Amino acid sequence: MKCTEGRPCKDRLPVLNNVYDIPVRLKEVNRDFFVMFNTRIQKFEVHCASQPFDTLACVLPFDELDARTIQYVREFSRERTEHIAEEIDRYNEEIDRREQAAVIDKASYKCREAFNYLKNNSKTDSIPQEVIDE
């Protein structure tokens, strides 16, 4: 749904200001942000006029507009996309590192088992499949 700043929209009323000046302060985060109150779900919404098809940017999880709104919008705004992508990359690299470490640990364990088998069975020149498959 595409809403226009300052105008009522289906089930939504514009919020131009409040006691904490949140709608005005949101402009510091992004000049295209504006606040609507969704009367159907009884929640505040942050909209972005520069979005091409749908202005809804996020539905706020709070019952009132206060400083948490600014923090929440900053946390999830488009400007943080690069930072969020870096966090995801770091997380994925850590998962890869753990998986590689697990493979190395398993290979190390198998090598020790094979070495011990050969050491204890000096008359053989091969390792039985059941030692390999453990």
d(C-alpha 59, C-alpha 38), whole Å: 9
Closest residue by Cα to residue 25 from 62, 63, 73, 58: 73
d(C-alpha 8, C-alpha 92), whole Å: 43
Per-residue pLDDT of the chain (134 residues; tens, 9 = 90+): 899 999 999 999 999 999 999 999 999 889 999 999 999 999 999 999 998 889 999 999 999 999 999 999 988 776 667 777 788 899 999 999 999 999 999 889 888 888 888 888 877 777 777 777 76
